[in-house]
Every structure is written in C-alpha cells, then in structure tokens.
Chains A and B, each alone.
Chain A
Amino acid sequence: MPITCEFEYHKPKTLPEALKLLTDKGSCVLAGGTDLLVWMKEGLRAPKTVVDIKGIAGMGGFTLSASALRIGACVTFSELIESDVVRKKLPMLWECSRTVASVGVRNRATLAGNICSAVPSLDSAPALLVYDAVVEVRGPKATRKVPVAEWFTGVKRTALKPGELVTAVIIPLTKKKAGSCYVKLGRYRGEDLAQVGVAVLALADNEYRVAFCAVGPVPTRAKKIEALLSGKELDDALIAQAKELVPQEISPITDIRSSKEYRLHMARVMLARGLKAACARLAGDAPATGDNLV
C-alpha cells in the first residue's frame, strides 16, 4: 500500500523557516510520522508540503527547572520511558507512555504528535490533564501557551491554528508527595488502542485528580469526582460514591472496540482500582508503577 499522494519534503533547520513553510495551506508537520504515514497511505491526508521538524535545533530533549519539565516537540515516547527525570518526577507519564503502541513505534512517535493527532483514545492525555500540562505553541507572530484542558476541541481536533507549530509540552512539578496510576483497558495485553483510560493522581492532604480518555470525544478531567473526593480519606464507601458519579463525567459510545455499556462498567471498575493503586503508591505500597491492573 504505497503512499500515492504527491508532496514536497522539507527539513528546515530553523523555526522561522519551518513557520514560513507552514503558512502554505497544504502543509503538514512530520515528527515521528507514525500516524501521518498511515493516514497518507489510507488517503485520509494528502499534504502538498511535508515539513519535517526533526532538523530544528531545540525541538528535542528535556529542560528541567525547579517548577516544570519542558518536553520538546520531538521527544519520543521511548525517550520519555528512558528518562530518569520523567520516571521519578512524573511517574504517570512514564506509566502511560509504556502503554503506547510498541517499541518500534515508540522509538519514533512523539508526545507532541500524540496530542496533535488527538484521537479520543490517546494514552498521554489523561496524565497531561491531571498534571495540568501546558502546550507551547509557536505561531507566525507569537508564542502562546495552551492549557491541556483547553487543547482538545473534538475528535482529532485541537486548539492548534493553521500555521502554528507545537514546540513543547510543559508539565509543572508539584512539591507535594504524590501517588499516581494510569489504568488502560485494551482487548488484550498487547498493543491496543485504549477502550477506556483512567488516570488518578493522589496528592498528600487528600487531594485527588482524575481524568478519562476513550470515553468521550475528548479526554476530560472528572471535576465532580475530584470535588467529591477532595479532602477525604479514601475508603470503600467513598469509592462507591465516586463510581456513582462516573456516568456524569463521561459519554462513551459503542464502536468496534467496545460497547457503551462495557466502557461505562469498566470506567467504574478502573476508577476504583486506579484510586486504590494511586493511594497505595502514595503510601509507598504495591502495586508497582507499571503493573497492569486490568
């Protein structure tokens, strides 16, 4: 299945050069290419210009400051998994990255590309949502920062405007002690697109953050559940109450991968398991980060 669309390939060395190329209406950005090439083969995208951003200085790598970790647009999931900083400071990002596709894909696929593709099942989004991440976007005129909570605007739609380029994802670091858990439902243990994804971040002082993916057109924070849990010690009764709120937080559909009913059922089960695991990890107990809970 060859790529049959015809396009020009450019690999700019500077950001202004790239932004100039991106003013062309038929242009599209190439980073890892693991989504883009499939879409081109299947005729879902037919760009006139492909702008490979991997030659631009400063687009790769991590920048750690006291308050945040800046992840360059060309950082791959493998680099996230292999990063000690990510594993220590943002264990849920590490945990969810390991559930993305498979090694050969993760060696190319980027975090920034994942959020730009913006499919409802994207594994990185729940973690970015609970970490209150910010997307750094460079436009022809200025740089702007978009909170991840405002990033996803629909299925495969984002706040990115024509001519703009994501340059980094910035994740603020909390000083609080934290335990976290990303629970992913696939049809089996091997590579699969999430049918439900649940992220739970449990912070000291009983602060909880919860997010879902694959159960609505966009990944979302579960604010009602967070409000319910806030300030309370987790126990079975509280978990039961939280599970009751799940239908108010998500809007799952039936598709080839799962029925609406099963998604709803599993969102509840996974929320309960995720809450318990996150709190256990906060207390330094098992299950270890990365252990499969479903």
Chain B
Amino acid sequence: MFKQMSSKTGVLSRFLLRQDRFRIPIWLLSLSGITLLTAQAFTGLYATEENRQTIAQTMVNPAMTAMVGKGYGLDDYTFGAMLAHQMLLFTAVTVAIMSILLVARHTRAEEEDGRLELIRSLPAGRLASLNATLIVVIGVNILLALLTAAGLYALGIESIDLAGSFLYGAALGATGIIFSAITAFFSQLSESSRGTIGLSFAALGAAYFIRAIGDVSNETLSWLSPLGWVTGTEVYVNDYWWPVLLTLGVSLILILVSLYINSIRDLDAGFLPSRPGKTRASAALQSPIGLALRMQRTGIIAWAVGVLLIGASYGSIFGDLDTFFEDMEIMKDLLSGLEGGSLTEQFIAKLMSIIAMICTIPALMAVFKLRGEEKKGRTEHLLGRAVSRNRLLASYMLISLIVGFVMLSLAALGLGSAAMAVLEDGPSLATIYGAAMVYMPALGIFIGLAVLLTGLLPKFTGITWLYLGYSFFVVYLGGVFQFDEWVGNLTPFGHVPEVPIEDVNSLVLIVLTIIAAVLMIGGFISYRRRDIQG
C-alpha cells in the first residue's frame, strides 16, 4: 500500500533537485559560510582570553539572553562557547526559514497552482510528492549539518573540536528537519500556500518567543520550544546529544502524521476550515493609501518589532561600555574621527547613523512596493479609475516617510529605555531621541531618490540599494579604513551632525531636506510622464 502510494518518489526527488539546482546550493553555501566566517572572525576580534571574558560579561543581561539564548560556559568563554552562544540560535532560525520555504514551495504551492494535479494524473503515487519533498529537504539539512561540522573542525580553532562541531552541525540540521516536518504538517492542514507558510512562520515565531521568555524567567518553559532544544545541546561546553535525538523523534512523528493525512485527503482539500473573509471592504481600505497600507501591514509590523529589538539590544550593552571598549582596539577604530563627549555619547552618535540606515530599508521597501504592484499589473486597477498618478505616488511616499519616522522613533525608544535601565546617569531619552531624529532628512533623501527612480528609471530602482550599501560601508567602517573626507561626503548620512557630541546644525539639515524635496518633485514629474507597465 505505502509502496504503491510512493511510486515515482525517486523520479520526483530528482526533479525537485533539478528545479532547485541553484536555490539549494546558495542556501547551503551561505548558511555554512556565515557560520565559518563568524568563527574565523572571532579569533581576530577577541584574540586574548581577557577579551573574551569581557565580551562574556556584556552578554549577561536579559535582553541578550532573550535574543540569543542562555550562554553556557560563560566563566570560561572559549571560542566554541562563544560561537554556540552568539551564533547557533540565529543560524538555527535561518535554517528553519530555509526549510519552511523549501517545503511549502514543493507541497501546497505546487498543489495550489495545479501542477501537482498534472503529476498525480501520471502513474505517480499519492504520497510521492510529499515523500520526495521531505527526502530532498531532509537531505539538504543533513548535508548542511555535515558541511558546517566539517568546516568548523577544519578551521582548527582551539576549543572547536570534532565532537562539538558535529553536534553543532547536527543541532542545525535537526532544527531544519523539525521545521520541514512542521511545514509538511501544516501543508496538509491548510488549503493555501500562504496559509502553510503563515502557520509555519507563526510556529517558528512562537518557538522563538517561548524560548526567549523561558530563558529569561523560567527554564522549563524553554524546553517546550524546539529552539530551546537547540541551545539545550550546550555545544562546545557540555555537548549533550539527547536534545538532537528528541528533535528528530518529534520530527518523525510529525512526518508520519503528515503522510497519513496526505494519504486520506482529497487533492486541493485542507483540514483547517478556510475561514470566509469579509464580503465588504472596510472604510479604511477604500483608498489608494488604505490599500497600500493594508498590503504592507504585516511587513511594517515585523520591521517595527525588529528595530525595537535592535535598539533595545544595543541599549542593553551600554552598562558595560567602558570595559567593552578598553580592551577592544577595533571598537576604538570604529569610533575614531568622533571627538568630544563621553564614550557613551560617542557610541550613541555612531550607533544612530547605523540605526538610521537600517530604518531606511523598510522606508525604501514601502516606496518600491509601488513598482512591484506595477509589475504585477495591479496599478492599472487604480489608475484605470479616478485616481491620479500624483495621488498614487503620494500615497506610497507618505507611507514611506511615516514608516521611516516610526522606525527611527521605535529604535531610539528601544535603545533609550534599555540604556536607561542599565545606566545610572546616562543621557536622557530626549537626547537619544534627538540624536535619532537628526537623521530624518538624510532618510528623506533616500526616499526621494527612490521616488525619483520610480518615476524616471523604474528599471534601475536597485541603484538605491547600492547607494545605501555604500553609505553603510563608508559610515560604519570609515573610521577603520581612514577614508578621505570626500568618500564620506558622497552620502547624506555623512553630513548629518553627530548629535549628541556635535550641536544640531540647522543649516545642514535644511539643505538636506531641500535636496530630498527636489528629488521627490522630480520623481512626481517623471512618474506623471511615463508609460505604466502592464
């Protein structure tokens, strides 16, 4: 029975590999590559044991614990302990994301688009597609585990030993496998690929937060989350294998359940009732800006949570700033070029330029959404009705400006509140908020550039990302590489007064604002003049 239902699994597996012949290697190389590069970078960054102990101290605070998990072996913070503490959880989450996307892509998405029907009409078994997907994705995870393990061991770093490296890889692979199984399960329950991906990511998010809360307050709670099991391996410190076995056991059960459900259900059917949506549009939806907001809602909320966390995590290390910097040559380099003010103030100024650039990303995405809609032939629905091009572009730009402002505010508030919690007499929240807000005109220039390109050269909107990448590089690493002044002057972020160590220079801010406005006006004029792609 099972044999017949699995007929042609092998052919389909090869077919999947063929479809993903670029996707899979890119995932594998980037995931294992990042782990290896980080491990290598640690040896340069924290050369002495003293360095490592210093960083270990800064890691012991609730914000860090919530983000990266409980640290193990903090009193003997070897490279291995450090890698497992700072990288394992994040990498595991990324591996989970890879697995979710790969599984959803070949199960429900395939079914929803009607391609599975074609395959099922051939002499392929009912379970063949799910089998093939699981075989391939589990194979990818095993390969990733081996690659990472072998690579880490090959680096020959002290304390990153063979047994530990294999456990490190296995923990990553097992996380990938359990999230493959979870996605396979949801792909049987939900009727749509959006639903499958949504539920799987919700499970991942829940696993992350349950673990975060558990790690900070109640350790038992962490053991309810598969991501708690990952850090529970205590790689390079105690090397526990049983959490990996637990993960694999649960995965096996989930896979068997999914296969069973798949074998008894109809094609295209799901087990979760598809909830009927609204039959009427709410008043908030019935305008171009309402529609644009609705389409970006989830993304904006995710970014808001993200920047708040980034702000808070930076803020939480303020307490140990002095010890942190005394031992670290590279940190001093990063801040060089900044003069005056206390170390804390210098650090705030530096951080804000970086945070502002991070906050530019969601703002740019909000503008480029318009271009995405155009490519999908959906702006036509609006422009074909009584909506002018000015109004349409203005809607997206307004959202972008608000997104930029809100993100910057949230990051500053996150940073400020966390810093206040750990610092006795640090800078006030108002100072920190002000230091963030001076970047608004520079952010506006980027939005302006995005608007201009949307109007003038819609095919080359990617230039904006390159420019932001350049800005990040010269502003972030400017101190380390000692660039000439003009290199930094090519980006608006290089001109923003470094509050709080510098005074607010209104003239500069006004000039930046004017440039932003000119770019925007240029964008509106050219958008009105060009053809709309269909």
A is bound by B: no
Residues of A within 8 A of B (CB): none
